[in-house]
Amino acid sequence: MNTIKQVFENNHKNKKGCLIGYITAGDPTPETTLKIADALIYGGVDILELGLPFSDPIADGPTIQAASLRALNAGTTSMRVLEIVKEIKIRHDIPIVIMTYYNSVFRIGIDKFLTSAKVCGVNGFIVPDLPVEEAIDFKKTANNYDLNTIFLVAPSTSNERLTRIVSVSSGFLYLISRFGVTGANTTLEDSTIQLIQRIQLFTAKKIPLAVGFGISQPEHVQKVIKAGADAAIVGSAFINIVQKNINNTTVMLKELETTAKVLKKAAAFGRQ
């Protein structure tokens, strides 16, 4: 089975940057999510990040908030998301990461949820509202099941705290490229490039660095990879395509695959 570590090593060996594609599981329906995953994987996404729909997604902007609402209205539950992972894994050998708020894990129980996640083929977790100081139990249980715990750092993260987070992260480090919430941007600020270069000094030869929030255009992807990131995370750009074509699945899937191909090409070119 392809692991997160293997994906980064293979891309690095081939002098390519990785593309991580985010979608909200269950949007617009659980069944359509499977087809969306197919399209992104056929388009070249290296790692799939599935957002577990939540009623109060504090780190997410309007695009992903709307996707979460559609998924919840379609009856998507936490355990159904894990079943979606299982169904994707039957068809594709690709690492899958779950992005979830801690309440969803706590409500079910850490051990029960992570046990089920492992059985269904999940490779790792991103829990944006779980600070490293309070993640001891979660990370210990995740380690027991060989699941990666992916922590986030922001522009405001101090060097001291950054060192600590890097030391306990696994899979990759998620760099929030800007202040605020998720959402597609038309431009990439120079400060983002400087931020990547600063963080990369702490992650080099220790853990892959992935950059998200506002990454939506091929030139964004190319620039962050060229600046030293190992992966670009694209979410809202994909979800915008889902929302725009919600009544025409055929067009939606074709556009998703085409967009993924263009973004993956930019990631590969950025590493050259």
User: What band does 191 get if pLDDT is binned at 50, 70 and 90?
Assistant: confident
* Three-class SS state of 53: coil
> Would you say residue 183 has pLDDT above 70?
no
What is the tens place of the pLDDT at every residue in 200-246?
A: 999 999 999 999 988 999 999 999 999 999 999 999 999 999 999 99
pLDDT at 1: 64
* Three-class SS state of 32: helix
What is the tens place of the pLDDT at every residue in 35-45?
A: 999 999 999 99
Taking the C-alpha atoms of residue 211 and residue 233, their distance in angstroms, rounded to an integer, is 6
Mean pLDDT for the chain overall: 92
Q: pTM of the full predicted structure?
A: 0.94
Find the length of the chain: 272
What is the tens place of the pLDDT at every residue in 101-134?
A: 999 999 999 999 999 999 999 999 999 999 999 9
Structural domains for the chain: 4-271 (3.20.20.70)
Q: Which sequence positions are flagged as catalytic?
A: 49, 60
What is the tens place of the pLDDT at every residue in 61-96?
A: 788 889 999 999 999 999 999 999 999 999 999 999
Encode 99-142 in three state secondary structure.
ECCHHHHHHHCHHHHHHHHHHHCCCEEECCCCCHHHCHHHHHHH
Least confident of 45-59, 163-177, 190-204: 45-59
What is the tens place of the pLDDT at every residue in 254-264?
A: 999 999 999 99
pLDDT at 272: 61
Taking the C-alpha atoms of residue 264 and residue 259, their distance in angstroms, rounded to an integer, is 9
pLDDT at 239: 95
More confident residue, 137 or 188: 137
pLDDT at 63: 83
pLDDT at 269: 78
Most confident of 1-10, 64-73, 74-83, 171-180: 74-83
